[in-house]
Structures are given as C-alpha cells and as structure tokens.
Amino acid sequence: MIECVSCKAKYDSDEIIYTCEKCGAVLEVVVDVDVSKETFDCRKDTLWKYKEFMPVDESKIVSLDEGGTPFCKCEKLGKDLGVELYVKVEGSNPTGSFKDRGMSVGMTKAMELGVDTVGCASTGNTSASLAAYAARAGLRCIVLLPSGKVALGKLAQAMFHGAEVLSVNGNFDEALDAVTQLALEKHLYLLNSINPYRLEGQKSIGFEIVHELGWNSPDRIILPVGNAGNISAIWKGITEFHNAGYISNKPMMTGIQAEGASPIADAFRKNAMDIIPVKNPETIATAIRIGAPVSSIKALRAIYDSNGYSETVTDDEILAAQLELARKEGIGVEPASAASIAGLKKLVNDGIVDKGEQVVCVVTGHLLKDPNTAIEASTEPIEIEADVEQLKNILLKNK
Ligand SMILES: *Cc1c(COP(=O)(O)O)cnc(C)c1O
Ligand SMILES: [Zn+2]
C-alpha cells in the first residue's frame, strides 16, 4: 500500500502514482513486516539481505549487488573532533553512489509494472545509476541533466551505459518539472526520488548502520541533503527496525546543506515545516545543488521527530573536509559527500554535537565522480627523467 504523507490518503501499490491526487503531497510505501532479526543471518551483504522489508516482487529483482558498503571507523578524525566517528562509504556501490540502492528497488518495481521506458532528471548520480540499472533490466532510459553542471564521471557513466542523455538549459529543479510532466502523461516511468520505491531501497543504509553496530543506533547520523530523499529514507529504515523491535534507540538525524542551496536548513532555523525554495541554487557540490527539495516534508519530519539538526556549510568548508577525509583517513569522496564531515566539524565547534557522541557520517558518492574538482585541489605531479639519481634527490629533499 502507498500512503500520502500529509492527508494519509491510501493508494494501491499497482498504481503508477508519484504525488497525492487529493492534496499533492509526496507518497510513502507502507511496509508491514513480522520476522525476527535472525532472518538476516548468513545472507549475502547486499540490500536484498533485508528483502522482507522491500515491498516488491522477489522474482523480478534487478540488482548489481548494491549495498553492504564499508563502514569505516575513523580513529584519527574522530580523535581530533572528540567523537566516536564512523563513515558509511556509499561510493563503494556499483556505480559509485547510494543512488544504486534506490535504483535497484525502483527498477524492480518498474519490471513488476511492466513499463518499457524509464527516466529521471538528475544532478548526475541518479542518471548514472538509472542508466546502469536500465541497461541491466533491458529498458529504454532517458535522462535530463542541467547543462554544464554535471560532474564529468557521472556524465560519462550515463552516456556509456546507453541512456539517451538530454542536456537541459536550466537547473535541476526545472529539469525535474519537465520530466515529471512527461511521466504524468505516461511517456515514461519516473525514477527520481519522488518515486517512493527509490526510498525503499535507500532506507537500507539505516538498516546496515544499526545492524553493523550490533543492533544499536548511533547517537547521530549526519548526511548531505539535496532533494532530501536520502535523509527521509534512512529515517524510515531506522523507524521500521525500531518498530520491529530490533533496536531500542534512534539517532538524531542531522542534515547538512550547502550555503547556496539550503531551503531545509533555512526552514529548520525557523522551526518551520514549509520550505521557501531557493531560486538559483549554487554550490560546488553539484549533487546537492537543489533549490526545491521534493522530500522536504519527510526530511523535516525526520529531523524534528528525531531531535536532530540541520546546518549549512560553505563551499570552502566542503572542499577542506573532502581533502581532510582523503588525506587523514584514505576515504575519497565527491564534494557533496564531504558536506557531512564539514557539517560535523561545524556542529562540534558550535557545541551542538557533544564530546564523545557516537556519530555516523554518510559519505554519499565516490571521489572519481568529480575528477576535475579533485585535480584542481591538488598540486601538479613533479616532472622528472626516469633516472635514479634525480629520483633520490627528490625523495631526500621532501623527507
Ligand atoms: C543524490 C546525492 C545527494 C543528495 O541526496 P538527496 O536524497 O537528494 O538529499 C548527496 N550526495 C550525493 C553524492 C548524491 O548523489
Ligand atoms: Zn494527500
């Protein structure tokens, strides 16, 4: 069953529907599961480990073994900040971002519904993921990207996996409006995160975190927020495991936005439920360069209900955190992902995060998604001849 998050109107799960026909709000899949947590023992480490919680037909699964990503304790960075820090490395998914989790479940639903064309608007990672999963499913794939604003790696993936890539003169929000119209006219099945099945896959990040911690919730989960689907999804997952009795506590959901694209953080500051869209969102973290997040109600609810927080960080803070995570812990992430680390640093400084808190930062996409930003932030290689003496000189000089 699908339910409106606002007026609670109910819809059948075979209906192709993206927003509530009665009030226009976003929808949520209602999952009712009654299994013991031992059910998941000895299963392969993918999101389908928790298949009882995935509301789709098991015989139609489209998967690239997404999920089961690394959960790395960061001793050095954690010590510097005075917290117990874990990083959930979503760049290790098949196409290099957490979008694969949502796409696996969303594509499975597409197969169940029997559609022949799928589509999305994307800041990059959704299109990269959709293109790969559509190829695997054998469906036609159309993606709309904001012209000139998509990181190189993501563009390469979408094109190489055979999607029909359209470059839109406009930003993400405008591209999403256009493709949503196409979907409402039934020309394609929309796999943006307004599609509630996407979030069903992404909620497995929450499942894995609490399972990894021995059926315990961390004090806090911090993640970057763009269209606000992921924070909503993780909270949904945590809540489902809590309702199932697997865990007795829940984390403070903490959403970080870029200063130039921060409608959720702005609403949080005013303790409001409604966002004021940002007309011309701007940030180097292109994956969260979004002015009108479709899942804002779900996200703000997650933040308020969990006694969480929302904050903004500057592009400079994002880039500094990206570099620090790469150099101190060996974890390479794209700029948007580093917003979670930049946010943690800011919240520790501001006294919002307490000393000794157990914190999980979700880093959402791989470093190689955006090679240009990485190269610009680095010093050029030193040119030498293939000569041992020259090599020795340099090694000794830089010691
Ligand atoms: C999609 C994406 C985000 C934002 O997630 P939302 O669900 O839109 O809030 C953050 N980081 C990366 C790398 C992404 O691909
Ligand atoms: Zn409604």
Query: For 196-205, what is each residue's pLDDT tens digit?
Result: 999 999 999 9
- Ligand 2 centroid to residue 275 C-alpha, Å: 18
φ, ψ of residue 361 in degrees (nearest 5): -100, 125
AA letter at 151: A
Q: Could you please report the per-residue DSSP string of 123-172?
A: SSHHHHHHHHHHHHHT-EEEEEEETT-S-HHHHHHHHHTT-EEEEESS-H
Q: Average pLDDT for residues 356-372, to the nearest whole number?
A: 97
Nearest-Å Rg of the Cα atoms of the chain is: 21
What confidence tier does 397 reach under pLDDT thresholds 50, 70, 90?
confident
Residue 149 has pLDDT above 90, yes or no: no
Q: Which atom of ligand 1 is nearest to the CA of 232?
A: 7
Interior angle at CA 269, CA 266 and CA 270, nearest 5: 95
Using a CB cutoff of 5 Å, list residues around ligand 2, an ion.
4, 6-7, 9, 20, 22-23, 25
- In the chain, what are the domains? 1-30 (no CATH), 71-96+198-376 (3.40.50.1100)
- Ligand 1 centroid to residue 367 C-alpha, Å: 14
pLDDT of 56 = 97
pLDDT of 16 = 95
What confidence tier does 399 reach under pLDDT thresholds 50, 70, 90?
confident
Kind and range of the H or E run holding 117: strand 117-121
Interior angle at CA 145, CA 300 and CA 88, nearest 5: 50
Residue 249 annotated as part of some ligand binding site: no
Closest ligand to Cα 21:
2
Q: Which long-range contacts (CB under 8 A, 24 or more apart) does 385-389 make?
A: none
Q: Average pLDDT for residues 12-35, to the nearest whole number?
A: 95
User: What is the rounded distance in angstroms from the CA atom of residue 90 to the CA atom of residue 78?
Assistant: 19
125-137 and 99-113 are packed helices; what angle lies between their axes, rounded to 10 degrees?
Answer: 40
Q: Average pLDDT for residues 101-112, to the nearest whole number?
A: 98
- Ligand 2 centroid to residue 210 C-alpha, Å: 31
Residue 63 has pLDDT above 90, yes or no: yes
- Ligand 2 centroid to residue 25 C-alpha, Å: 5
220-224 β-sheet, strand order: 71-73, 84-89, 358-363, 220-224, 252-258, 309-313
pLDDT of 398 = 73
Q: Which residues pair with 309 in a beta bridge?
A: 254
Q: Average pLDDT for residues 333-343, to the nearest whole number?
A: 98
Q: Which atom of ligand 1 is nearest to the CA of 369?
A: 13
Nearest CA to ligand 1 atom 1: 287
Closest listed residue to residue 344, CA positions, set 371, 320, 378, 376: 320
| Residue 225, ligand 1, Cβ within 6 A | yes
Q: Where are the alpha helices (DSSP H) in 213-369?
A: 229-243, 263-269, 296-305, 315-329, 335-349
| Residue 93, ligand 1, Cβ within 6 A | no
| Residue 193, ligand 1, Cβ within 6 A | yes
| Residue 287, ligand 1, Cβ within 6 A | yes
- Ligand 2 centroid to residue 200 C-alpha, Å: 19
- The overall average pLDDT reported for the chain is 96
Q: Which long-range contacts (CB under 8 A, 24 or more apart) does 42-49 make?
A: 44/68, 47/101, 47/104, 47/105, 47/201, 47/204, 47/207, 47/208, 48/104
Q: Is 215 helix (H, G, I), strand (E, B) or coil?
A: coil
- Best probe residue, ligand 1, of 150, 288, 363 (max atoms within 8 Å of C-beta): 288
Residue 254 annotated as part of some ligand binding site: no
pLDDT tens per residue across span 321-330 = 999 999 999 9
pLDDT of 252 = 98
Q: Which atom of ligand 1 is nearest to the CA of 193?
A: 7
Q: Which residues pair with 221 in a beta bridge?
A: 253, 360
pLDDT tens per residue across span 233-292 = 999 999 999 999 999 999 999 999 999 999 999 999 999 999 999 999 999 999 999 999
pLDDT of 324 = 98
Residue 9 annotated as part of some ligand binding site: no
User: Rounded to a whole number, what is the distance in angstroms from the first to the last CA of the chain?
Assistant: 63
pLDDT tens per residue across span 166-190 = 999 999 999 999 999 999 999 999 9
User: What is the rounded distance in angstroms from the CA atom of residue 124 to the CA atom of residue 368?
Assistant: 13
**Other C-beta atoms within 10 Å of 256: how many?**
33
What confidence tier does 2 reach under pLDDT thresholds 50, 70, 90?
very high
What confidence tier does 35 reach under pLDDT thresholds 50, 70, 90?
very high
What confidence tier does 320 reach under pLDDT thresholds 50, 70, 90?
very high
What percent of the chain is modeled with pLDDT above 70? 100
What percent of the chain is modeled with pLDDT above 90? 96
Residue 229 annotated as part of some ligand binding site: yes
Nearest CA to ligand 1 atom 14: 287
- Ligand 1 centroid to residue 390 C-alpha, Å: 45
Residue 228 annotated as part of some ligand binding site: yes
- Ligand 2 centroid to residue 194 C-alpha, Å: 14
Residue 230 annotated as part of some ligand binding site: yes
| Residue 361, ligand 1, Cβ within 6 A | no
10-11 β-sheet, strand order: 10-11, 2-4, 27-29
pTM: 0.97
